[in-house]
Structure 1
Amino acid sequence: MDAAARRNYVPAERARSFYTFVGAVIAAAVLVAAMPVARLTETLPDLPAAFWVMAALAVLCDYRPFTPPGRRQSSAVFPSICFTFAILLAWGLGPAVLVQAAAVVVSSWRMRHAVWRAVFNIAQYTLALGAAEAVTYALGETAFGEGSGPTWIDVAAVTLAAVAWFVVKYGTVTIAVRLHSGGNWWTTFRQGVAFESVSIGALLLLAPILVGPASHSVALIPLMLVPLFAVYRMSRLSSEQEQLARLDPLTGLANRKALLAEVHEQATLHCARAAAGAADRHFALLLLDIDRFKHVNDALGHAVGDQLLVEVSGRLVEAVDRHDVVARLGGDEFAILTPRLTDAAGARALADRIVTALSEPVALDGLPLDVAGSIGIALFPEHGDDFATLMRHADVAMYDAKHRNDTVVVYKPESDHNTPERLSLLGDLRRALDPDLATMAAGEITMYYQPQIEIQTGEVVGVEALLRWRHPTRGMVDPEELIKVAEQSAVMRLLTRRVVDDVVEQLAKWQAAGVTLRAAVNVSIRDLHTLEIVDQIRERLARFGVSPDQLQLEITEGALMADPRRVLATISELAKLGVAIALDDFGTGYSSMQHLRRLPLTEVKVDRSFVLGMATDADDHAIVRTVIDLAGALGLRVVAEGVEDERTWRLLRSVGCHVAQGWFYARPMPADELVEWLGRYRPLTPNN
C-alpha cells in the first residue's frame, strides 16, 4: 500500500469503526427496549397523572439544557434524567424510554443535532436505563414501584442502578468520541468525568426522592423544580469557577493552567492527525517577554504597569488569529499558542505581526511609552511533544534573542546547553545551593580567589572571586560548564545570591584579621534584569559592616548589549550604592562608544585571549594597546587577565596597563590559602 493509499485508509477505517459502533449501540437499544415499548399500548392509558406531569416536565426542562463552555455537548446538564429515572423506578423501562426519547427529540431540535445523532442519543439513554432496570431487577428492588416505604437495601439497590446508568451512558459517549476524533483513550475519558459524575449523579439520586411524594400527591411533583434548579446553578457555578481558574485576573487572558491544557489537547489532536496522514501536524508556542517593564513599575507605579499589561494583552489578541490562544504566564511574560501551521515560517510571520503591533507607543497617564519584547519560538513536534519541553525550548530561544539583541528567535538545539546530562547537573547544582536540600550528595560549593596586582607598585589591590564546585561523582566541575548550566535557568540567581553572600562574609573576615581587599564578582544578564541584586547587596554589606567600595561587580559585554537599558538601570543603582562596576572580557563583544560613555564604569578588563597572545602576535598587542588608550581617555582603570609570564607583564607595563592578574602572580586559591600567600608575597616591580 503506497503513502497516498495509507492516508485515505486510516481515516476511512476510523469512520467505519465509528459508524459500526453507532449502529451496534442503536441495535442493542432496539433489542433492550422492544418488548417494554411494545407493552405501552396496553399500559400507557392506565398510567397515573403523576407520570404525565413528570413526562411533561422532562420534555420542557430539556428544551434549554445547560452546556458548560469549553466542554463537549455531551456534558450538558439534561434535567429530564431525573424524571425518566424516577419513571423507571415507579413504572418500568417502557414509559421511561418513551419519555426520554421525547425529551431527546426536543433538545436535539433545539440544539440542531443531526437525525443520526438524536437517534444515537436515544439509544444511549435506552441502554443506560436498561442497565439500571437490570440492576434493580437482579437485586429485587420493588419498593419504589409499589409505593411502599423503601428500606436501606432498596436505597442501596437504586444507588447501584444509578451507577450502572452512568457507566453505560458515559462509557458509550467516551467510545464514540474517541472513535470519531481520535486521540488518547484516557484523555477522552477524563475530559468530562468529574463534572458529569457530580451533575448527573445529583440528578439520578434526586429521582428516588421524587417518587415518594409523587405517590401521595401530584401537586408535590413541580416542587422538584427547585432542587433541579439548584443542580443547574451548581453546574453553572462549578463551570464558571473552573473557567475563572483558567483566566488571568488582570488581563482576562488564559493563564498557565489553561495554556497547559490547550497544549496537551493540541498535541493529542495533532498526533491523531499525523497518524491519519494529515499534513498540518505542526503547532507553535511563542514566548514573549516585555523589555524594561520593571522600569515602568518603578518609575510610574504598579497601577500604570498593570495598565500597560492590559494594553499589551489587547494588542496581542488583535494581532493573532481567532484560533490562536494568548496567555499571560505572570509578570511581563506572555505566551501564544498557534495551532495551524505548516512550518516555522508561519510562526515567524505571527511573531512579526506581534512585533509590529507592539511597536506603536502606548499612551499611559499622558506619557508615550515604547513597548518592545523578545520572542522565542518552539515548534511541535520538532522541538518537543509536551508542554514542559516546548516551554523550556521557547524560553531558551527567548533568552537567545536577548543575548543576540534580536527580536525573534526560533529554537535551535545548538543554542540549548541543557542536554540531559546538563539537566541532571542542574538538578544537582540546585540541591547544592538550597540550604534545605544541600547534602554531601550534592557536592561542595566554594569560592577561590585570584590576586590582582598593581603593575607599577606590585601592591595587591584586590582579588577576583571565582566559583568552584566539587561534584560528588564528577569531581571539580569546569567553571565555564557550570555557568552554561546555570545561566539559562532561575538557578543562576540562586548561584549569584550564594556568591555574593560568601564573598561579602569573607571580606568581613579578612577585614577583622587586618586584611583589606577589594573583591570582584561576576554577574550574569539574569541578575541584571531586576533590582533584586541591589537590595541583596545593600542588605549584606550592612549586615557584615563591609564598605561598598570593597565590592566590585563584573559584567560582560554580551550581558550589556543584550538589554542595555535594563542593565543600565540596575548598575546605575549599584553605582549609587558605592559598588564599583567593571566591564569584563572587553574587546570580545560589540559595545558602542555611546554605552561606554553612559555606563557608570570604573574599570575594564582586557580579555585573556588578547593578553595571552600579545607577546607573540602583533595584532593582539595592538588591540591591547588600543583598549588601554581608549579606557584611559574615558578615565577607566584597566585590568589585564591571563598574565602568565614576565614578558607579557613587562609589555603591559610599557603600554600603561594598571592592574594584572594571572598565573604569573598566583593561581586562584581558597580564602585561607590566600591569607598565607599574602604573608609570603613580595612585590614585584619593574626595577627588580
Structure 2
Amino acid sequence: MEAASLRNSVPPGRATTFFGFVWTVVAVAVAVCAAPLAALPGRVPALPAAFWLMAALAVAGDAHPFTPSGQRPSPAVFPSICFSFAILLGWGLGPAVAVQTLAVAVSSWRMRHAVWRAAFNAGQYACALAVAREVARLAVPGGFAAGFTVSWADVLAVAAAGAAWFLVSYGLVTLALRMRFGVRWWSAFRQGFAFEAVSNSSLLLLGPVLMAAARVSAGLIPLIIVPLYAVSRMARLSGEQERQARLDPLTGLANRKALVDEVAEQISLHAERAAKGEPGRLALLLLDLDRFKHVNDALGHAVGDRLLVEVGRRLTASVRPGDLVVRLGGDEFAILSGRLAGLDAAREIADGVAAALTEPVALDGLPLDVGGSIGIALYPEHGRDFETLMRHADVAMYDAKHRGDTVAVYAAESDHNSPERLSLLADLRQVLEAPGSAGAADDVGEITMYYQPQIAIASGDVVGVEALLRWRHPRRGMVDPEELIRVAEQSAVMRLLTRRVVDDVVEQIAKWSAAGIELRAAVNVSVRDLHTGEIADQIADRLARFNVPPSQLQLEITEGALMADPRRVLATISRLDKIGVAIALDDFGTGYSSMQHLRRLPLAEVKVDRSFVLGMAVDADDAAIVRSMIELAGALGLRVVAEGVEDERTWRLLHAAGCDVAQGWFYARPMPAAELATWLSRYRPLQPGPVQPGSGRHRWPTASIRGVRVDQGRADVN
C-alpha cells in the first residue's frame, strides 16, 4: 500500500508535523538500509539471471499498478511487492530495497507524484522490508539460501515476515493519514484494512512461491504473470463490490452505508478537534421531496427515476466541496456537512438546497415541481451518534412538512418520541390505568379536572363551564396541558385519556345536579377520538349510567381535526348530534375552510380564539376580526363564545359587538369542582349596561339556583 490518500496540499496547522513525519520515515529507512545498499555493488556480478528477471518484472509491473475503481480514496496495488519480497528471501535486504526503490521511482514518475510522496513510499517499503528480514532471521538464522530444505518452520517464518511487512507498511501510511487529515489513527487503520490485507497478502505469499520457482529454473518466473493477473482481477472485483456497497445504483450518490461510516468518522474527528479547542459543528440535513408519489402514480416509475437523478445532480451542485450527498432511498436524501461555524451556516446550506429545487425539472417537455422539506440536526447539540442525529433530523423534517415550511431545525418540543416524552407517556398510561376515579398513583401523580366558568355577557349569568385537564406529576410538577395532549394524541393512550375525562366530567355533572346546580360542561376532544364512533358510544353509555341529559354535555373540536379526515369526523359528529350532545367549533379563525364548516356541520357554537380576543383592546385589526366573526356566526344562528377575556375593556368591547358568552380570567381562573361550587355561591353578575340596538341576539331562559342564575336552554353552550 502506498500513500494513495495523501495530497500535495497540507493544512498549515499540520504541515510541520506531517512533513516532519514523512522525512523521519525516509531518514530511518536510509539509516537501516545504508549498509546493505553500500555492499550491493560488490554483489552485482554474482546475482543470477533470476534476480534480474524479477527486478525487470517488478519495475514493469509498477509502471501500470492495479487501481480498482470505486474506492474513496482509490488505493493502488503494486506488483513489485511480490518480486521485492522474493528477492528479500533469496538475496537479502540490499537487492530487495534497491529493486523496490527503483519500482517506486518509476510508478511515481508515471503517476506524477510529488517528490516527498515518492520518497515516503520508498522509505515506507524499505522499513517494511527491513522488519520482515529481521523477523525471518529469528526463525531461519542462516537465511533462505539456495539448496536448503523447506520445513514447516520455514513456511511459518515466511508468513510471519509477510505479516510484519504488511503491518509496518500499512501502519506507516495510516499514521501519515492521521497527521495529514487529523483523523483518528484507528479509524484510518480500520477503514481500508480488509482490502489492503487481502490484496497485499496475496502478493506477499506469491513471493516464496516465486523464489521456489527460481531455484528450479528462471524460465518459470514469467509464469507469475498469470497469478498476478488474478490478483489484479481480485482487486478490481473487490473495488467494484465496495462501490456497489457504498453507492446508490440509480443516482450514483453515496448510500446509507456510506453515510453511516462517514458520520462515525466525522464525529470522531470533531470530538478530537473539540478536545483541542477547535470550534466547528457537524450538520446532518434530511430532505424529503414533496409530491413525488404523484409523479410516480401519474407518469410512471421511469419518469420518477429520471427526476431523482436530476435532483441528485442539483443537490451535488448546490452544496460545498467536501459535503457528502446521500440518497437514502425512495425520495429521501441526506447531506452531511462538516466544519461549520454553527446553525446559521447549516441553514445557509439548507437554503441553497431549497433554492436549487425551486426551478421545475423539465422531463419530456413537462415541467415538474420538485420542492421538498428539509430537517437539520447538529452535532453535538442534537445528538452524538448517527442514529440520534438521523432520528432528530427526521423529526425536524416532518416538523417542517407539518408547518408548511421548507427548513426546520430539530427542537425537542417537536419530538414526540424523545426519551423525555416516552417517559412522560409511560407515566400518563400508568396514572390513567390506576384504580379509582381520581387516577391517583404515588409515583406518577394524579389526573384531575378543573372547570372555568362561561358567562353570558348581556346578563352576567353563568351559562356553563369548560372542563380542563390537569396533571400534577410528583417529579415534573404541573404538566403543561398542551404538552400532555401532544404526547397522548400520538398514541393509543389518547383513547384512555378521553375515556377518563368523559367519565369524570359526566359524573361531576351528575353530582352538581344532585346538589341542585344545573351546569353545562364542555369537553375538548382530539382528532384521534373522532376517527371512530367509539366516543359516541361511550358518551351515550355514560349519560345513561349517570342519568345526565345530553343537553348538559358539549364537545369542542378544532378545525384541524375536521381537516384530518372530514368524512369519518363528520360521521362521528352527526352521531353525537343525534344523541343530543352539542358540538362547538374551537379556535375559530385559526384553521382552514371555516365558511365551509360553518355551513355543513351540525354546530351549535363557535369559540373565537384567544389570540384575537387578547389583542382587541389595543389592536384595531384584532377588534375588527372579532366583530366580523361575531356577525358571521350570528347570521348563521350560532352562539359565539370569546376565550381569553382578561380585562373589563375587552369585556365591554365584546358586549358592544354582540358577543354572547365570555370566558377568561376576568371572571375566574380554572378551578377544581369543589372550589367552583364555592365560587358559584359567592358570584354576583357584573352589569354591563343596556345592550346596543341590533347587538342582542339569542336569549335563553334562566333559573336562579342558590342565588346564581344558570342557563336552562339548549345544549349549545361551551
TM over 0.5: yes
> Are positions 1:417 and 2:412 aligned together?
yes
Tell me, yes or no, if the aligned pair for 2:256 and 2:326 is still in contact at 8 Å: yes
Instruction: Tell me how far 1:113 sits from its aligned partner.
Output: 1.0
The amino acid of 1:80's aligned partner reads S
Letter in structure 2 aligned against 1:480: E
* 1:63 to partner: Cα distance: 1.9
Compute the displacement of 1:610 (Å).
8.2
Q: Which amino acid counterpart does residue 711 of structure 2 have in structure 1? A: P
Letter of the structure 1 residue corresponding to residue 359 of structure 2: E
Matched-pair contact (CA < 8 Å) for 1:637–1:658: no
Find out whether 1:428 has 2:456 as its counterpart.
Answer: no
Q: Is the 8 A contact 1:642 1:663 kept in 2?
A: no
1:92 has 2:87 as partner: no
Provide the residue aligned with 2:492 in structure 1: 498
2:237 corresponds to = 237
| Aligned-partner SS, 1:289 | strand
Residue 117 of structure 1, CA deviation: 2.0
| Alpha-carbon offset, residue 65 of structure 1 | 2.2
Call closer, same or farther: CA 1:136–1:318 in 2, change over 3 Å: closer
Alpha-carbon contact 2:559-2:591 (below 8 Å) kept: no
Q: Corresponding residue for 1:315?
A: 314
One-letter amino acid of the counterpart of residue 226, structure 1: V
Deviations 1:108-144 (A, max 9, x none): 1121112232122111111111111101111226685
1:195 is aligned to: 195
CA deviation map 1:602-639 (0-9, x unaligned): 7865557889999xxx9999987864654566798988
Bigger Rg, which one: 2
Aligned to 1:480: 482
Deviation at 1:257, TM superposition (A): 3.5
CA–CA distance in structure 1, aligned partners of residues 449 and 481 of structure 2: 13
Does residue 1:101 correspond to 2:101, yes or no? yes
Paired AA for residue 428 in structure 1: S
Note the alpha carbon deviations across 1:87-121, whole angstroms, 9 max, x for none. Answer: 22222222221221121112111211122321221
Q: Secondary structure at the match of 1:371?
A: coil
> What's the RMSD between the two structures over aligned residues?
6.1
CA distance in 2, matches of 1:444, 1:304: 54
Q: Which residue is 2:33 aligned to?
A: 33
Contact 1:401/1:408 (8 A) holds in 2: yes
Deviation of 1:376 (Å): 4.3
The one-letter code of the counterpart of 1:425 is: E
C-alpha distance 666-181 of structure 1, shift in aligned 2 (>3 A): closer
Tell me, yes or no, if the aligned pair for 2:555 and 2:584 is still in contact at 8 Å: yes
Counterpart residue identity of residue 327, structure 2? R
Match in the other structure for 2:526: 522
Matches of 1:595 and 1:246, distance apart in 2 = 52
SS of structure 2 residue aligned to 1:202: helix
Partner Cα distance (2:125, 2:500) in 1: 76
1:686 and 2:672 aligned = no
- Cα 1:666–1:233 shift into 2, 3 Å: farther
1:162 paired with 2:162, answer: yes
Q: CA deviation at 1:169?
A: 1.2
Contact 1:575 1:600 (C-alpha < 8 Å) held by counterparts:
no
User: d(CA) in 2 for partners of 1:54 and 1:539?
Assistant: 86
The answer to whether the 8 A contact 1:445-1:467 is kept is no
Comparing 232-241 and 114-123, the one that deviates more:
232-241
- The letter for the 2-side match of 1:245 is A
Instruction: For residue 282 of structure 1, report the CA deviation from its aligned partner.
Output: 6.2
- SS in structure 1 opposite 2:113? coil
1:328 is paired with a residue whose SS is strand
The aligned residue for residue 571 of structure 1 is 565
Cross-structure match for 2:216: 216
Letter in 1 for 2:315: L
How far apart in 2 are the matches of 1:188 and 1:242? 17
Kept after mapping to 2: 8 A contact 1:143/1:150 = no
Letter in 2 for 1:416: A
Cα separation, partners in 2 of 1:655 and 1:604, compared to 1, 3 Å: closer
Task: Figure out how many residues of one structure are paired with residues of the other and give that number.
Answer: 621
Instruction: Tell me the distance in 2 between the aligned counterparts of 1:21 and 1:249.
Output: 40
Rate the CA distance shift 1:31–1:311 in 2: closer, same or farther, 3 A.
closer
CA change 1:571–1:631 in 2 (3 A) is farther
Which residue matches 1:49? 49
Provide closer, same or farther for how the CA distance between residues 538 and 23 of structure 1 changes in structure 2, counting only shifts above 3 A. Answer: same
Alpha-carbon distance in 2 for matches of 1:152, 1:434 = 70
CA distance in 2, matches of 1:606, 1:222: 92
Q: Residue type of the partner of 1:247?
A: L
Gaps of at least 5 residues in structure 2 are 1-9, 435-440, 457-465, 505-521, 542-553, 575-582, 674-708, 714-718
Greater Cα shift, 188-197 or 106-115: 188-197
- The 10-residue stretch of structure 1 (336-345 or 28-37) with the greater mean CA deviation from structure 2: 336-345
- Evaluate the alpha carbon distance shift between residue 606 and residue 301 of structure 1 in structure 2; reply closer, same or farther with a 3 A threshold: farther
Q: Structure 1 residues 231, 657: CA separation in 2 closer, same or farther (over 3 Å shift)?
A: farther
Structure 2 distance, partners of 1:539, 1:212, is 86
Moved more, 365-374 or 135-144: 365-374
Q: Is the 8 A contact 2:498 2:525 kept in 1?
A: no
Per the normalisation by structure 2, the TM-score is: 0.65
The percent of aligned pairs where both chains have the same amino acid is: 53
The correspondence of residues 51-200 of structure 1 with structure 2, limited to 5 A, is: 51-68=51-68, 69-72=70-73, 75-140=75-140, 144-146=144-146, 148-200=148-200
CA-CA distance at 1:250 after TM superposition: 4.1
Q: Report the 3-state secondary structure (helix = DSSP H, G, I; strand = E; otherwise coil) of the residue aligned with 1:359.
A: coil
Q: CA deviation at 1:425?
A: 1.6
Q: Which residue of structure 2 aligns with residue 672 of structure 1?
A: none
- Secondary structure of the equivalent of 1:496? coil
**C-alpha displacement at 1:521, in angstroms?**
4.4
Q: In structure 1, what is the equivalent of residue 23 of structure 2?
A: 23
Q: 1:11 to 1:621 in 2, by over 3 A?
A: closer
Q: Assess, with a 3 A threshold, how the Cα gap between structure 1 residues 577 and 590 changes in structure 2: closer, same or farther.
A: closer
Q: For 1:302-451, list aligned pairs within 5 A.
A: 306-338=305-337, 348-362=347-361, 368-377=367-376, 398=397, 401-402=400-401, 405-408=404-407, 411=409, 416-417=411-412, 423-429=418-424
Report how far residue 419 of structure 1 moved: 12
Distance 1:14 1:349, change over 3 A: closer
Deviation at 1:286, TM superposition (A): 3.7
> Distance in 2 between the 1:374 and 1:18 partners?
43
**Structure showing the higher helix proportion among its residues:** 1
SS of equivalent to 1:242: helix
CA–CA separation in structure 2 for the residues paired with 1:443 and 1:156: 66
Q: Using structure 1 for the length normalisation, give the TM-score.
A: 0.67
- With 240-249 and 344-353 compared, the bigger mean Cα shift is at 344-353
Give the partner amino acid of 2:587: D
| Structure 1 letter corresponding to 2:492 | R
Preserved contact between residue 375 and residue 408 of structure 1 (Cα < 8 Å): yes
CA distance in structure 2 between the partners assigned to 1:373 and 1:600 by the alignment: 34
The separation in 1 between residues aligned to 2:602 and 2:78, in whole angstroms, is 71
Amino acid at match of 1:326: V
1:530 alignment counterpart? none
> SS at the partner of 1:360?
coil
CA distance in 2, matches of 1:469, 1:307: 55
Contact 2:128–2:168, Cα closer than 8 Å, also in 1: yes
Aligned to 1:253: 253
Q: Is the 8 A contact 2:531 2:569 kept in 1?
A: no
The 8 Å contact of residues 532 and 572 in structure 2, kept in 1 or not, is answered as no
The Cα offsets for residues 360-416 of structure 1, whole Å up to 9 and x where unpaired, read as: 34456876543323334566788778756765665566556456544345x4xxx83
Residue 586 of structure 1: aligned partner? 588
The whole-number CA distance in structure 2 between the counterparts of 1:219 and 1:582 is 99
- Partner amino acid for 2:526? N
**Using a 3 Å threshold, how does the CA distance of structure 1 residues 264 and 479 change in structure 2: closer, same or farther?**
same
Are the aligned partners of 1:144 and 1:211 in contact in 2 as well (CA < 8 Å)?
A: no
Which has the larger displacement, 251-260 or 501-510?
Answer: 501-510
In structure 1, list runs of 5 or more residues that go unmatched: 1-9, 457-462, 511-517, 524-532, 561-566, 669-683
Change (3 A) 1:335 1:619: closer
The letter for the 1-side match of 2:40 is: L
CA contact (8 A) 2:452 2:669 kept: no
> How many angstroms apart in 1 are the aligned matches of 2:534 and 2:148?
80
Please tell me whether the aligned partners of residues 58 and 80 of structure 1 are also in contact (alpha carbons under 8 angstroms).
yes
The alpha-carbon deviation at position 427 of structure 1 amounts to 4.8
